[in-house]
């Protein structure tokens, strides 16, 4: 389907009118000829005298014959000459009508017309957006996960996707709030502008298509056309990642590299990996508990980008790696190679599966990966087996194959992107946490597990500032003390705490991990919390309502109106006077 090359103002009406020009001209001419003929041909009245139809009568006769209604010959019976003309005019006007109506209907049913109509509708819906939105470029597995997670938190998203089927898949799902999906090519900057790139509410651009080149182009366009926007880009190769970084892409997410990092983390500090897994997961999905990957010999089947990232990282940390692949150009030093395929038992034997501790099947083909998993299971039922799942739809197969760890690049990328979007402090928290010892990690993991109640918790940042939390700042400027504990109190029961955990406090240049709950807040503080979605909502509610905040702080209900406040002041001063007396 041809796409509009540049934005035009309301082309739909113009399209209809342009196409209706000829049919309307034909109709007008037919009517004019018929009317003229009737008014010129002489007839006879009931006295047998010559009588000519006036233009008014002629128009009347043509109107009812043209629309095939037909009342008979009025006001006087027609002469033969008039009847002859009536025959001509009936065929002429009826055919002209059919042609005009047919043209109108075919215009209305034309797919190009529908596309134009749909585009206008979408552009209006984007122009009407008056709150920050994320532009998601590419609606594959990653895009779908992102859109779902964004809308679940009440955020707005606009999708740009070149594939009609994916757009239809998106429209089949009910997203609240509505997600406008544009059938546009993200590689074309003009299309990005149509989708609202220059809109002042477009806060972030998420380039998560499957293609590195496309993501690079999106990132470039976003940085040039809307420099204020936050650009998060997916990159599969390190070349692209460096290229993106060179012109200031805000965040580059390399799913493979990140997985390798996480795998090593899981091997070396499993408790921190659990925390990492939970805090960056997609909120409200099941809290995963995965078996710990062993610190031993690894067999990696398939040396694609994922296999490369994993073998490099494991190798550089002193873990023995054997790669099984049919075609490998150059491996990192110290990595053993077996030429062949992981799907065949003899090649796995050659790779030393008998002595191995773990296996990762990571080709780009799900059938090959599953076959490798099943072959390896037969050879070594006790082996730790991890497999890459390329397409989300194959999930049931991987679950049935009972892999210990399923690598879903789309999930890894989307969870990384979400962590950046939702809680910008999360990454600095996780970096700091790496420096702590294993007991600290374990304690944190247990606390999160306790409050999360089997679901992945949400993480959120709280900035104590006049713009974000005016009520809290008013309170602090009035000289009142507000501690972290006060924010975490449950409005329904002041003595109970909400199911949330303060993770990080950023005050000036100081960062404080796991701040104590009796810490007094100051203007300018940045806080990172994790907890249940309900606790997040509750906290924001208390931060918006001065009376509620006062109650949480002091335990006293503040009287709402002026009269009640005066009464209370008078009463407390009288009580004080009585005590003194």
Q: Which residues bind other proteins (CB under 8 A)?
A: 9, 14-18, 20-21, 24-25, 28-29, 32, 35-36, 39, 54-57
- Smallest gap from residue 109 Cβ to other proteins (A): 19
Q: Which two tokens stand for residue 210?
A: 């499957």
**Residue 34 or 309: which CB sits closer to other proteins?**
34
**Residue 11 or 364: which CB sits closer to other proteins?**
11
**Residue 5 or 439: which CB sits closer to other proteins?**
5
The 3-state secondary structure of 96-113 reads HHHHHHHHHHHHHHCHHH
**Residue 27 or 182: which CB sits closer to other proteins?**
27
**Residue 22 or 68: which CB sits closer to other proteins?**
22
**Residue 57 or 83: which CB sits closer to other proteins?**
57
What is the C-alpha end-to-end distance of the chain, expressed in Å? 91
CB 520: neighbour CB atoms within 10 A?
12
Q: How far apart are CA 147 and CA 137, in angstroms?
A: 11
**Residue 39 or 424: which CB sits closer to other proteins?**
39
CB 334: neighbour CB atoms within 10 A?
11
User: Parallel, antiparallel, or unpaired: how do β-strands 298-301 and 321-325 relate?
Assistant: parallel
Is the N-terminal amide bond of 550 cis, ω within 30° of 0?
no
Q: How far apart are CA 310 and CA 314, in angstroms?
A: 6
- Smallest gap from residue 40 Cβ to other proteins (A): 9
**Residue 16 or 120: which CB sits closer to other proteins?**
16
**Residue 62 or 433: which CB sits closer to other proteins?**
62
Q: How far apart are CA 170 and CA 108, in angstroms?
A: 25
Residues facing residue 136 across a β-bridge: 159, 206
Residues 542, 552 contacting (CB under 8 angstroms): yes
- Smallest gap from residue 33 Cβ to other proteins (A): 9
**Residue 34 or 126: which CB sits closer to other proteins?**
34
- Smallest gap from residue 242 Cβ to other proteins (A): 46
Distances 536 to 168, 460, 545, 581 between C-alpha atoms, Å = 33, 8, 15, 48
- Smallest gap from residue 15 Cβ to other proteins (A): 8
**Residue 56 or 201: which CB sits closer to other proteins?**
56
CB 401: neighbour CB atoms within 10 A?
20
**Half-sphere exposure (CA, 13 Å, Cβ side) for 393?**
2
Q: Which two tokens stand for residue 489?
A: 């109190």
- Smallest gap from residue 18 Cβ to other proteins (A): 4
- Smallest gap from residue 93 Cβ to other proteins (A): 14
Q: How far apart are CA 455 and CA 287, in angstroms?
A: 5
Angle at 175 between CA 169 and CA 179, to 5 degrees: 80
**Residue 17 or 438: which CB sits closer to other proteins?**
17
- Smallest gap from residue 220 Cβ to other proteins (A): 32
- Smallest gap from residue 10 Cβ to other proteins (A): 9
Give the containing element (helix H, strand E) for 191: helix 189-194
**Half-sphere exposure (CA, 13 Å, Cβ side) for 4?**
25
Residues 538, 528 contacting (CB under 8 angstroms): no
- Smallest gap from residue 49 Cβ to other proteins (A): 18
- Smallest gap from residue 52 Cβ to other proteins (A): 11
Residues facing residue 222 across a β-bridge: none
CB 460: neighbour CB atoms within 10 A?
22
Q: How far apart are CA 275 and CA 198, in angstroms?
A: 38
Pick from 525, 501, 484, 505: nearest CA to 428: 505
> 137 Cβ partners below 8 Å, 6+ apart?
143, 159, 160, 161, 186, 192, 205, 206, 207, 208, 209, 214, 215, 218
**Residue 85 or 303: which CB sits closer to other proteins?**
85
Strand ranges in 431-542 using DSSP code E only, listed in sequence order: 458-463, 489-490, 493-497, 500-507, 510-513, 526-531
- Smallest gap from residue 59 Cβ to other proteins (A): 8
**Residue 40 or 84: which CB sits closer to other proteins?**
40
Strand ranges in 14-148 using DSSP code E only, listed in sequence order: 42-44, 50-52, 133-137
């Amino acid at each position: 389907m041809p796409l509009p090359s540049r934005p035009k103002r309301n082309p739909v009406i113009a399209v209809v009118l342009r196409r209706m020009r000829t049919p309307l001209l034909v109709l007008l001419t037919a009517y004019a000829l018929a009317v003229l003929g009737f008014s010129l041909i002489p007839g006879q009245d009931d006295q047998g005298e010559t009588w000519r139809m006036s233009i008014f009568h002629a128009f009347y006769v043509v109107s009812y014959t043209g629309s095939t209604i037909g009342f008979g010959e009025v006001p006087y019976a027609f002469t033969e000459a008039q009847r002859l003309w009536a025959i001509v005019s009936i065929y002429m006007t009826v055919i002209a009508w059919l042609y005009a109506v047919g043209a109108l209907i075919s215009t209305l049913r034309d797919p190009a017309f529908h596309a134009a109509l749909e585009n206008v509708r979408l552009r209006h819906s984007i122009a009407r957006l008056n709150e920050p939105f994320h532009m998601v470029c590419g609606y594959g597995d990653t895009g779908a996960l992102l859109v779902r997670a964004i809308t679940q938190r009440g955020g707005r998203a606009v999708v740009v996707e070149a594939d009609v089927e994916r757009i239809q898949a998106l429209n089949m799902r009910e997203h609240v709030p509505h997600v406008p999906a544009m059938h546009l090519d993200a590689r074309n900057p003009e299309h990005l502008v149509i989708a609202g790139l220059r809109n002042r509410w477009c806060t972030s651009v998420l380039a998560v298509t499957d293609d590195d080149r496309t993501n690079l182009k999106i990132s470039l366009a976003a940085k040039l056309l809307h420099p204020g926007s936050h650009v998060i880009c997916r990159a599969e190769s390190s070349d692209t990642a460096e290229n993106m970084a060179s012109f200031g892409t805000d965040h580059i997410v390399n799913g493979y590299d990140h997985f390798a990092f996480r795998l090593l983390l899981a091997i070396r500090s499993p408790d921190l990996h659990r925390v990492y897994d939970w805090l960056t997961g997609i909120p409200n999905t099941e809290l995963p508990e995965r078996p710990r990957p062993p610190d031993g010999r690894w067999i990696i089947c398939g040396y694609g980008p994922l296999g490369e990232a994993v073998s490099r990282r494991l190798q550089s940390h002193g873990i023995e790696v054997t790669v099984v692949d049919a075609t490998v150009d150059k491996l990192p030093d110290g990595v053993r190679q077996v030429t062949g395929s992981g799907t065949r038992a003899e090649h796995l034997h050659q790779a030393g599966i008998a002595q191995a501790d773990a296996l990762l099947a990571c080709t780009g083909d799900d059938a090959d990966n599953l076959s490798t998993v099943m072959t390896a299971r037969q050879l070594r039922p006790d082996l730790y087996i991890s497999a890459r799942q390329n397409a989300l739809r194959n999930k049931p197969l991987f679950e049935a194959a009972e892999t210990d760890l399923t690598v879903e690049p789309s999930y890894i990328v989307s969870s990384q992107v979400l962590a950046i979007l939702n809680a910008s402090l999360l990454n600095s928290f996780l970096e700091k946490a790496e420096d702590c010892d294993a007991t600290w990690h374990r304690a944190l993991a247990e606390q999160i597990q306790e409050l999360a109640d089997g679901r992945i918790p949400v993480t959120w940042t709280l900035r104590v500032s006049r713009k974000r939390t005016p009520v809290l700042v008013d309170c602090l400027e009035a000289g009142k003390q507000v501690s972290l504990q006060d924010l975490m109190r449950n409005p329904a029961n002041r003595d109970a705490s909400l199911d949330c955990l303060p993770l990080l406090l950023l005050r000036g240049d100081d960062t404080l991990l796991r701040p104590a709950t009796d810490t007094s807040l100051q203007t300018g503080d940045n806080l990172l919390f994790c907890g249940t979605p309900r606790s997040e909502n509750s906290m924001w509610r208390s931060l918006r309502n001065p009376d509620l905040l006062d109650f949480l702080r002091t335990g006293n209900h503040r009287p709402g109106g002026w009269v009640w406040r005066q009464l209370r002041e008078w009463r407390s001063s009288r009580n004080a006077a009585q005590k003194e007396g």
